[in-house]
Every structure is written in structure tokens, then in C-alpha cells.
Amino acid sequence: MNEKTKQFVARRFKAYYRSAKIAPPEEFWMREWGFVLFDPSYPAKLVMRRHTSFATKDDLANYLRENAPAHAYHSAAVYQYPTETMAKKGWLGADLIFDLDADHIVDEAELPRYSYEDLLALVKEETLKLIDFLTSDFGFADDDIKLAFSGSRGYHVHIHTGGVRGLGSRERREIVDYVSATGLDMNSFLTNKTADVDDQTVKLILGKYVEVENEVPIFKKEKFRKKSGDLQLIASKGWGKRLQSGLANFIAELSGLSEEAKKKKLNEIGISKESTKKMVNMTKEGGMAKRLERMQEGKLGFWPTQAWDKIIAEESVKSADHVDEPVTADIKRLIRLPGSLHGKSSLRVKPLTVESFKAFNPLVDAVVFGDKPIEIRATRNSSIKLKGEQYKVAEGEIAQLPEHVALYFLCRGAAELT
């Protein structure tokens, strides 16, 4: 970003902050604040100005108007002395924060295959899963949960209720492990009726029966038993209930496929040919209604391990890497100020409720700048869809674009002012 471009972007950010109504977080005067400004080193070097606090809302509003930061943050924690060094701040508690970002959902090597719009849709799907966990499994009310579009490629989820304030890093990490199914033990959700047998030895491993031929046990020093009755899924609440729902969805999805497509899907998740044949037969027309009815009662019958792995992946918020664990566990972390602008996109860090999040479209609703034509020179091939219109520029191209589009390309480092 050259100096001319930087000064233009800084002026437009200043115009936004002059009129923006930004609601500070609860107990804002007890929080540490941090800012990255459009200073001489920006954007080659991002200098964070930390250990700041504001006594009044007007003090915060005046700072934003005068400095028009590229990035604005506040602490998840509240402190006795927020302007002191970390060792002297006097930690009093912290909000529960989740940071979901496309970088944690799609492998870096795969990112070029996705459009910005597609990445945002994937992150939204994961965020909806997280909200469901928080309300259904942890008992938070919708009003306890505040969200914000990050201004880039993800969402932040904030919980301010007093019950979470005192949680330490370990407890917060356990919450991440729960929603991401880290360490989930399927054995704790499965049970079956068994009986001693002499003619055959069978061991149950996550719903898969392994027969031992010629009565020669593979697993030494164990008493083997044969299934008598149905394998049962304990589905009264929490993950058990989610597994039951995921199981029904998996079977229903399979049933809608052709026989060849079923085989391909099952093969892709590593299920053997023999098991695939059984599962394909299970989902044939005529037996489906009965099968789903039995599953609703928790009766599973045959079910291979790899299918459970697939169900868990679909039901969880992917993995511990997908909810940014360091952000959730870090009780002194800074998080973006809802209502501020993101210096690498020009989009608003849009505050949301659980209800408004459902219909939220960041590429429309987080756009704050207008349509005045601005001439830019593209420094690399780039494209973006904003406010329902698709825009594309090629490296070296001179283009006149609506201001909100031009600012996006300028902030992304994909263009300079002419």
C-alpha cells in the first residue's frame, strides 16, 4: 500500500468513525484496549498500541473519531487496573469468546479452490453448529450470546454472563474439546445385550463385530462374547442425542443416492466392500422406514466404525483447530471491537444477535461505503462479490469501481489509487 492509497483509506475510515454509533462492550472502562493506526509503518509493520482504557463512552468515541484506527480491539477480560502491564492489571474475569475463521476450516492448500463467498458460507455453518451446542447442551439463552462478523473471513461469539467470567483456561479448553468432539469415546454411548458362546467368538468395537476363526482368540486374556439382541445407542442428551440425529441424517442421505453413488460415498470414508454391501442393502426402498424407526429407539444393529467417524465429523464443530482454541482458552486475549472497521477489508465488524445472524449476509450487510466511482490500478488478479454484484480485476488493469469495491481491493493490497 503506497502513501497515497494509505492516506485515502485513512480519510475514508475517519469519515466512517465521525458518524458511526459504536456500542462499547459491558464494563468497557475495566477493559484493556488496543489499536493499530494508519501510521508510517502501516501496513508493512502492524504496531499495536495496548494498555489503554476509557473512563466514558465519549472518551472512546472521541478516540475513534480522532485516530480512525485500521484495527480496534478490546480485552475479553476485565481488570482492576487495565492500563498497567499484564502482571499488574489485576485480572477479575473474562468473557467466553469463540473465534471461527475460514483459515481453521479449510486447509491452506485448499483455500484457492474456494471463493470468498463460499468460505463465509462454510464458517457460518460451523457457527450455527456452535450456537446450537451453546444453547442445547450448555443451556445458554439466545440473549446470552452476542455475535460479530469479524470483518474478514469469520465470526466471533461472545458470552458475557457472570457464570463464565471466572472460568480458567483449562475449563475453557474443555468446552472447545466438547463442541469439537475431541477425545469423544463412542464406547460410552453404546451398549448391547450379550451372552456367552462356545462356537464363535466375537468382540464389539464401536458397533463392528470381529469374528475369530477356529476359536483362536486375537485379543488375548479377554473373555469374548457374542451379540444377543440390538446394539443400543444411549441417546438421552448431549452427544448421545447428537449421534442419534446424525445417524438418522446419514442414513437418510444415503437413501437418496443411487446404488453406485452409495458405494462411492461409503468407499470414500473407508468402509470395506463387505460392510458397504450391508449398508447399501440397509438403505434400499422398503426397509428404510423400519430402519429409521428402530434407530429412533436407539437400536442400531450393524454399524461400522468409519460411519461413526463421519457422523461425528458432521455433528461436531469440525475439530479443535476449527474453533480457534487459543482465543477461547486465552483469558487475556484481545478481540475486535464490534462496530469498528477491519483494515484489511474495509468491512464492518458487524454486531449480531442469534436471530439476526440467521439472515445476515456479510457481503451485503457489512458494507458501509458508498458507490462513488474511484479509479484504481490492480496489482494482482482479484475478484469479489459485494452488494450482489460481481467484480473482477486483472493485474495492471486500470478500473473505475464503486467506492466500497475499490476500498476492499485497496485494503486487501490488491490495488493502488491511480
Residues 66 and 171 in one domain: yes
Residues 150 and 228 in one domain: no
63-116 confidence digits (pLDDT tens): 999 999 999 999 999 999 999 999 999 999 999 999 999 887 887 778 788 899
Q: Which residues belong to the active site?
A: 99, 101, 324
Helix pair 238-255, 305-315: axis angle to 10 deg: 110
Residues 243 and 118 in one domain: no
pTM as predicted: 0.79
Query: How many domains does the chain fold into?
Result: 3
pLDDT of residue 278: 74
Among 315, 334, 359, residue at a domain's last position:
315
Residues 172 and 204 in one domain: no
Residues 117 and 236 in one domain: no
**Dihedral sign for Cα atoms in the order 120, 123, 129, 134:** negative
Strands 389-393 and 71-75: unpaired
Three cell numbers, residue 353: 444477535
Instruction: Look up residue 413 and give its DSSP letter.
Output: T
Residues 99 and 65 in one domain: yes
Q: Is the pLDDT of residue 137 over 50?
A: yes
Residues 175 and 209 in one domain: no
Residues 158 and 198 in one domain: no
Among 368, 385, 400, residue at a domain's last position:
368
Residues 170 and 27 in one domain: yes
Mean pLDDT within 315-343: 72
pLDDT of residue 218: 37
Q: Is the pLDDT of residue 258 over 90?
A: no
- Domain of residue 394: give its range: 369-418
Residues 208 and 137 in one domain: no
Residues 201 and 306 in one domain: yes
Among 272, 291, 315, residue at a domain's last position:
315
Residues 231 and 258 in one domain: yes
Q: Is the pLDDT of residue 9 over 80?
A: yes
Q: Read off the pLDDT band of 219 (50, 70, 90).
A: very low
**Can you give the three-state secondary structure of 220-275, one letter per residue?**
CCCCCCEEEEEEEECCCCHHHHHHHHHHHHHHHHHHCCCHHHHHHHHHHCCCCHHH
CATH code at position 416: 3.40.5
Tell me the C-alpha distance between 48 and 70, whole Å.
11
Q: Residue 164 belongs to what H/E stretch?
A: helix 162-165
CATH code at position 116: 3.90.920.10
